[in-house]
Amino acid sequence: MLIRNAKNSAGKPVEVWLRDGKIAAVGLGLLVPEGETVLDAKGRTVLPAFIDTHCHWRTPGFEYKEDISTGSAAAAAGGYTFVNLMPNTKPVCSSAEIAHAVEAEAARVGLCDANQTVSITKDFDGKTLDGWEYDPVYWRVEGDRMVGEVTPETLLERNSFIVWKGGTPADFELKMEYRVSPEGNSGINYRSVKVPGVAHALKGYQLDIDGPGQWTGQNYEERGRTFLALRGQATQAEPGKKPHVIGSTGDKDALFAEIDRDGWNACHVIAKGNTLIHLINGKVMSIVVDDDPHERTRKGLIGMQVHVGPPMKIEFRNIRLKTR
């Protein structure tokens, strides 16, 4: 098929030749085989297909809201050819079997490719924290949220973590949403290890979270080298040296302005090889390239923190893990 009389994103005329379902050529005055179907775009704009990174098709269990066929059709109608599906289904998508079944059905429908994310909390029922190791004084479930809270009666002497018992991922992407109280101090640890002789303690990389906003988004190594990259920094860590700045992800205050201090925020950790990337609400907050073979860790535990200090509350929901 030859698409003629179209415009590109810059508003300039363009022709597109499609052969066997793929783009074969882009330009003007394209020569194509005799008898080729010609589509007159009549000045419409031709764009690359879109990707939706946060989508709800609700299969299994909530097909009365949306199913794979209707979701695929809606995506294709809007120009989307790939979607990332959330696991808030019934049952919660927490197994490879469910994920593969959803992806296979999307492939059968054939309108849009799909990646089904998997909940890190297996078969989460909104009532228990099965699959996690934690101190019940500080951690509980409220609806669809995992809640960590320190009260005036339960002030901490040291930081306390809720730790996922599902494995020690190496390269992965971890996504979740959080809401923190104005005075709260928390964090998401990964590639971490337990501290011998200290209950509910972790040592390792941390995406920092705090209500006042001084530290949110930075990479802090709990019980280790401490500050690896502040918000807005890209750094490199080398043996025997403090991490040094090699670039910028943006202005520290401008990045903090992207964070909802009263509501929910979406955080995203990417760990690939020696590179560790922290994002909040789609903005890169910090990057660390850890080239210190003596101090870095290549895999480890995942956990969330309540911090020493004044009373505080941290809530997490929609926790998803994708390993590489």
Q: Look up residue 50 and give its two tokens.
A: 């879109």
Q: Considering only CA atoms, give the Rg of the chain.
A: 23
Average pLDDT, the chain: 93
Measured between alpha carbons, how far is residue 314 from residues 32, 76, 138, 149 in Å?
Answer: 61, 38, 10, 6
Question: Tell me: the pLDDT tens digits for 96-107?
Answer: 888 899 999 999
User: Across residues 54-74, what is the average pLDDT?
Assistant: 94
Residue 50 has pLDDT above 90, yes or no: yes
DSSP per position, 117-134: --BSSTT--SS--TTEE-
Question: Tell me: the pLDDT tens digits for 289-311?
Answer: 999 999 999 999 999 999 999 99
User: Across residues 195-216, what is the average pLDDT?
Assistant: 97
pLDDT of residue 96: 81
CATH number of the domain at 132-323, please?
2.60.120.560
Question: Tell me: the pLDDT tens digits for 138-152?
Answer: 999 998 899 999 999
Across-strand partners of 163?
133, 303
| pLDDT > 90: percent of the chain | 81
pLDDT of residue 123: 55
pLDDT of residue 126: 63
Could you give the residue ranges of the DSSP H alpha helices within the chain? 68-77, 96-109, 252-256
pLDDT of residue 267: 96
Q: What is the pTM (predicted TM-score) of this model?
A: 0.71
At 253, is the secondary structure helix, strand, or coil?
helix
- Domain ranges within the chain, ordered by starting residue: 2-40, 50-116, 132-323
Question: Tell me: the pLDDT tens digits for 1-33?
Answer: 999 999 998 999 999 999 988 899 999 999 888
User: Across residues 128-135, what is the average pLDDT?
Assistant: 90
pLDDT of residue 119: 79
CB atoms within 10 A of CB 103: 16
Question: Tell me: the pLDDT tens digits for 66-106?
Answer: 999 999 999 999 999 999 999 888 888 888 888 899 999 99
| Interacting residues of 265 by C-beta distance below 8 A, sequence separation 6+ | 177, 178, 179, 259, 280, 281
